[in-house]
Amino acid sequence: MKPDVLQLKALSPQLEAGLEAAYTVHRPYRAADPDALIGQVADQVRAVVTGGDLGVPAALWDRLPALEIVAVHGVGLDKVDLDLAAARGIAVTTTPGVLTEDVAELAIGLWLSLSRRMVTADRYVREGRWPRAERLPLARRASGRKVGVLGLGQIGRAIAQMAAPFAASIAYHSRRPVEGVAYAYHASPEALAEAVDVLFLVTPGGAGTPPLVDAAVLAALGPGGLLINVARGSVVDEAALVAALTDGTIAGAGLDVFEDEPNVPEALWSMENVVLQPHRGSATEEARSAMAALVLENLAKHFGGNDGNTEKGREGP
> Catalytic residue among 26, 157, 232, 302, which?
232
Q: Tell me the three state secondary structure of residue 73.
A: strand
Query: What is the chain's alpha carbon radius of gyration, rounded to the nearest angstrom?
Result: 21
Cα-based distances in Å from 261 to 45, 143, 167, 206, 208: 28, 32, 31, 14, 16
Of the residues 20, 127, 134, 261, only one is catalytic, namely 261
Cα angle value 287/198/186 (rounded, 5°):
100
Which of 283, 312, 265, 275 lies closest to 99, judged by CA? 283
Q: What count of other Cβ atoms lies within 10 Å of the Cβ of residue 27?
A: 18
CB-based contact 244:250 (threshold 8 Å) = yes
- Is position 232 annotated as part of the catalytic site? yes
Q: Which residue in 46, 73, 157, 279 is the catalytic one?
A: 279
What values do phi and psi take at 254, rounded to 5? Answer: -115, 120
Q: Name the phi and psi angles at 52, rounded to 5.
A: -65, -25
Q: Which helix (H) or strand (E) holds 103?
A: helix 100-115
Active-site residue, 279 included: yes
Residue 186 is a catalytic residue: no
Enumerate the active-site residues: 232, 261, 279
